[in-house]
Amino acid sequence: MSNTQNQRGRPIWIWGLLAVSLGINMFLVGHWAGGRAADNRPSRVFDAKRQGPPPQDLVRGVLMAFSAELSKEDQRAIRQALSSRRKALVPQGRSLWEAQAKVDALLRAEVIDKDALRVAFQDLRQSTNALQKPLHEALIDVAGQLSPSVRNQLLDKITAERRARRADRRRIRREGRLPPNN
C-alpha cells in the first residue's frame, strides 16, 4: 500500500478535501444563522459598542434606521424635514459623539478624575439636548405630512429602540456593572 492511500484504499487527499468542505459549510451555515438572528433584533441607531468617527451623514443614518420600511414618498418627506435642519444636526451630532468619547475615555482611565467626569457628563447632557432640538423640530414639520399608520410605524420603531436600550441597562445592572439608581 502506498503512502497516498489509507487502509480502505481511498486517497488521503480526499479526507483533507472532505474536512475543508465541512469547515466551509459550517462557516456558511453559522453566517446565515447569525444574519437571521440579527434580522429579528430591533435596529440600533446609537450602538454603544460602535467605534470610530461620527457618522458623516447623521441625517441619512437616522432616516435609514427609522424609515427603511416606509414608502419612497414618506422617506422623501422625512429626508426633506431632516435636510432642512442639516446645518444644525451635523455639528450637534459630532459634538455628541465627541462628548461621549470623552466620557468613555475618562471612565476607562486607571484613576477616575471625578471633577473631569462630572464636567464631561454635563457636556454630554448639553450635547444630547442640543441634538434633540433640531430632530424634534424636524419631526414636528413632517408629522402632519405622514398618515397615522406611518406615524404609528415610526413610533413602533422608536419604541423598539427604547426597549432595547432599557433591556441592555437591565442586563448590565444584573451583571453588576451598573448601579441600581441608573
Choose among 46, 41, 45: nearest CA to 65: 45
- Cα–Cα distance for residue pair 47/31, rounded to 1 Å: 21
Question: Cα 100 vs. chain centroid, distance in angstroms?
Answer: 15
Residue 116 has pLDDT above 90, yes or no: yes
- Cα–Cα distance for residue pair 65/35, rounded to 1 Å: 17
Torsion of CA 72, 73, 74, 79, to 10 degrees: 80
Phi, psi of 34 (to 5 degrees): -65, -40
Contact 99, 127 (CB under 8 A): yes
- Cα–Cα distance for residue pair 67/44, rounded to 1 Å: 13
Q: Give pLDDT tens digits for 39-61.
A: 555 444 444 444 444 544 555 56
Which cell goes with 75? 422617506
Q: What's the mean per-residue pLDDT of the chain?
A: 75
Q: Give pLDDT tens digits for 125-173.
A: 998 888 888 888 887 888 888 888 888 888 888 788 788 888 887 887 7
Question: What residue type is 145 in one-letter code?
Answer: Q
Q: What is the pLDDT of residue 46?
A: 45
Q: Among residues of the chain, what percentage have pLDDT more than 70?
A: 72
Helix 72-83 × helix 58-67 angle, to 10°: 150
Query: Is the entire prediction scored with pTM above 0.85?
Result: no
- Cα–Cα distance for residue pair 146/61, rounded to 1 Å: 20
